[in-house]
Amino acid sequence: MKAAVIHGAGKITCDTVDDPILQNDRDIILKVTATAICGSDLHIYSGGIPQPRPMVLGHEFMGIVEETGKAVTNLKKGDRVVVPFPIACGHCFFCDHHLPGHCENSNPEHYGPEGGLMTEKGGALFGYTDLYGGYDGGQAQYVRVPYADYGPRKVPDNLTDEQVLFLTDIFPTGYTGVDWADIRGGETVAIFGAGPVGIMAAKSAWLRGAGRVIVVDTLQYRLDKARLAAGAETILWEDDGKNVIEQIRAVTHGRGADACIDAVGFEPDRNILEKAKALVNMEKGSVKVLEACMSAVRRGGTVSVLGVYPTMYDNFPIGQFFDKGIILKGGQAPAQKHIDKLLDYVVQGKVVLDDIITHRLPLTKIADGYSMFQKKEDGCVKVVLDPWAV
């Protein structure tokens, strides 16, 4: 089969690899009909999260069931399903507590309570390095899906792939940031990052009854997409973000937003001094966006961290965190917890997901897709791939 294989930082190719096979009675083999490149994939592509051996990437995918293990009784060949990005068993302590990203059984070689980039990890993710289980991902024509009696959801025939594809990750992830903030109605939500997750967070904020939704980014074309797709107010990040803090406080009676969502993570746009600081401190990337969120949020407000942060960072503003009484939440989104409710929103027409797609490419053009997405060329916001197109 054809698959997108990472061969080190900056090098991903469409290779011919062996077809996957069933390895457990709870597995299915899925024929992938649509897949996408996620912003988190770029961390592997950039080398920010290491993957030393070749591996099939991709955790946003859906398709048609090709083969089922003996224990999978809820699915059959021919069923069309969407697959949440965490690989989770469905019955351990953390799965029972709706935390599939911390599954105790899916990542046995690297699992443990400590946490961190090079220490013990949580549960497994599709196509997201050996540290997260070493499972091949779904940027391919076929993929093995473990614990398939727990994760995949059937989708209605009247919905296209593109209408439901983002239930895999970015919609549940954006929704999780809003859910962590306990948005109940009337609040001001400020979202840092106008990429796919940030736009999905904005859509989710409206679903939860937010009174005002503000999206911040360094690029105007991404803000334009956030305004069109999510109806959000926008602020262009300038002057190292000082203008953003001032504008958010100006429209919130000087208090700050009720909730801020970091949808950027450790690889924001940085100047040469910020890159030098990271090198000296042996840090990966920067926490500048998280710091901006903690300044922009009101006292007693919530900061939800959806962007990836893999390492320790010096000068974390714990004094500000303590003095302001900030509620800080972050981590992998519990996609299985929310997916049924979010699918129902799509079915009812309460939310549209495919309006963020800017590029559609065959899988054979995977290198072009990654390069364009990373460099933010040609107005790229979201790339969807067809594994079967010539």
Which stretches does DSSP call E strand in the chain? 2-6, 12-16, 28-36, 55-56, 60-68, 80-82, 86-87, 124-125, 142-145, 153-154, 188-192, 212-217, 233-236, 257-262, 297-305, 327-330, 359-362, 383-386
Q: What are the residue ranges spanned by the domains of the chain? A: 2-169+333-386, 172-330
pLDDT of the residue at 273? 62
Looking at the DSSP bridge assignments, the partners of residue 154 are: 81
* CATH class of residue range 172-330: alpha beta
Q: Quick one: 36 exposed, middle or buried, by C-beta within 10 A (0-12, 13-18, 19+)?
A: buried
The residue to which tokens 């979202």 are assigned: 191
Q: What are phi and psi of 222, to 5 degrees?
A: -70, -35
pLDDT of the residue at 26? 98
pLDDT of the residue at 120? 87
Give domain 2-169+333-386's CATH number out of 3.40.50.620, 3.90.700.10, 3.40.1010.10, 3.90.180.10: 3.90.180.10
From residue 27, give the alpha-carbon distance in Å to each of 155, 202, 259: 19, 35, 39
pLDDT of the residue at 277? 58
- C-alpha 293 chain-centroid distance: 18
Nearest to 366 by CA among 89, 123, 137, 111: 137
Nearest to 62 by CA among 146, 160, 136: 160
pLDDT of the residue at 281? 57
Beta-carbon count within 10 A of 121 CB: 22
Q: Are 12 and 51 in contact (CB under 8 A)?
A: no
Q: Are 318 and 294 in contact (CB under 8 A)?
A: no
Q: Which residues of the chain have pLDDT under 70?
A: 117-118, 267-284
Nearest to 11 by CA among 57, 59, 72: 57
The H or E element that residue 322 is part of is helix 318-324
The H or E element that residue 359 is part of is strand 359-362
Beta-carbon count within 10 A of 187 CB: 23
The H or E element that residue 201 is part of is helix 196-207
